[in-house]
Amino acid sequence: MILTITMNPSVDISYPLNKLIINDINRVSNVKKTAGGKGLNVTRGIKFSNISVLASGIIGGTTGNYIQKQLDEDNIDYDFYITKQESRNCIAILHEGNQTEILESGPVLDSQDANLFLKHYQTLLEKADLVTISGSLPQGFPIDFYVSLIEQADRYQTPVLLDSSGKMLHATLISEHKPYLIKPNKEELKQVIQMDIDDSDNSSLIKALNHPLLNDIPFIIISLGKKGAFARCHDQFYQVTIPKINVVNPVGSGDVTLAGLAVSLHEGESIDGMLKRAMTMGMLNTMESQTGFVNMSNYDQYYQQVKVKKYINHKVN
């Protein structure tokens, strides 16, 4: 089973409006509310791939109940740590071709919640083959909390795939408990290694991937939107190119890409197969209006069009 961790889930609310009128009433009828948070998108991507998945993290209050109800409707198994604090709402106002977002920061939690979650997580680790961790931490949690999650998983020799950014990602890279795989996009990687990256220049990408901070991470997949991805898997580099497609809504494609990576590692596929699966999942997500949704009946058609080129032992100093 794959265990997915979402530490700060949300109810994502979308308000489509013809025109957003500031300082006046805007009435909206076609409201959509879904269980959101990057890790829940990963969960859906894994579920679409027909692999057993369990969602966990921290939820609370009526918003937390709503998240559980939504997951029930999608037939997704979950086992959250429940806090007394209310989970957050995230609002996206879709107007005149724009998307204006109002994102609550979420509950402020304390060290007691952190410790109780760690205990809960430990019981889940006993049945997990692989863990994915996505997104940000609740306010009040230590910035190196993901290091604690990786440390516990290490005790069970369970690989952790991490999709986070900034200080939270950095904390894991300088720790002795490192993720097995990370999937930054270009901006996230630039921020963490403090280096410019030109994504149309392979030697620049290779140089970034050779940064000492990334030394002991077995799999680093830099996702590059419509340009596909560039990866270092152990000591080999791979350029992955994808076909031009009709993009409807790219939000969450990084999460569904991570789902593809998790499924592939879980199933013991080749590196070539893993990169192709991940890109195909990401593309399929961009072609749907619903975040985290994929139409698997298009899978083979797009999988065939993903190309992986390998560079052997190429190092650029």
Phi, psi at 53, each rounded to 5°? -140, 145
For ligand ATP, the closer CB: 165 or 172: 165
Using CB under 6 A, pick the residue from 153, 254, 276, 302 that binds ligand ATP: 254
Residues contacting ligand ATP: total by CB under 6 A:
21
Q: Does 213 bind ligand ATP (CB under 6 A)?
A: no
Q: What is the DSSP letter of 288?
A: S
Stretch that binds ligand ATP, among 109-117, 171-179, 191-199, 240-248 (CB under 6 A): 240-248
Residue ranges of the alpha helices (H) in 126-270? 145-155, 166-173, 186-193, 202-209, 253-266
Full DSSP string of 113-131:
HHHHHHHHHHHHHTT-SEE
Chain position carrying tokens 């031009």 = 244
CB of 168 to ligand ATP, least distance (A): 15
Using CB under 6 A, pick the residue from 286, 292, 302, 308 that binds ligand ATP: 286
For ligand ATP, the closer CB: 107 or 254: 254
- Nearest Cα residue to 262 out of 39, 99, 111, 21: 39
Within a 10 A sphere around the Cβ of 27, how many other Cβ atoms? 6
For ligand ATP, the closer CB: 51 or 284: 284
Q: Does 252 bind ligand ATP (CB under 6 A)?
A: yes
Crossing angle (nearest 10°) for helices 38-48 and 253-266? 50
Using CB under 6 A, pick the residue from 171, 242, 259, 261 that binds ligand ATP: 242
Site for ligand ATP in 1-60 (CB under 6 A): none
Q: Does 220 bind ligand ATP (CB under 6 A)?
A: no
Using CB under 6 A, pick the residue from 251, 271, 273, 288 that binds ligand ATP: 251
Radius of gyration of the chain (CA): 19
In the chain, where do the E strands start and end?
2-6, 10-17, 32-36, 53-60, 77-78, 81-83, 88-95, 98-103, 130-134, 160-163, 181-182, 219-223, 229-233, 236-241, 307-311
For ligand ATP, the closer CB: 153 or 224: 224
Instruction: Give the C-alpha separation, 48 to 72, whole Å.
Output: 15
Instruction: Give the C-alpha separation, 213 to 224, whole Å.
Output: 20
Q: Does 192 bind ligand ATP (CB under 6 A)?
A: no
Phi, psi at 54, each rounded to 5°? -125, 125
Site for ligand ATP in 169-188 (CB under 6 A): 185
For ligand ATP, the closer CB: 83 or 257: 257
CB of 190 to ligand ATP, least distance (A): 12
Q: Does 275 bind ligand ATP (CB under 6 A)?
A: no
For ligand ATP, the closer CB: 186 or 266: 186
Q: Does 64 bind ligand ATP (CB under 6 A)?
A: no
Using CB under 6 A, pick the residue from 226, 301, 304, 315 that binds ligand ATP: 226
For ligand ATP, the closer CB: 106 or 252: 252
CB of 61 to ligand ATP, least distance (A): 26
Instruction: Give the C-alpha separation, 65 to 73, whole Å.
Output: 13
- Residues near ligand ATP, by CB under 6 A: 185, 223-226, 228-229, 242, 245, 247, 250-255, 257, 279, 282-283, 286
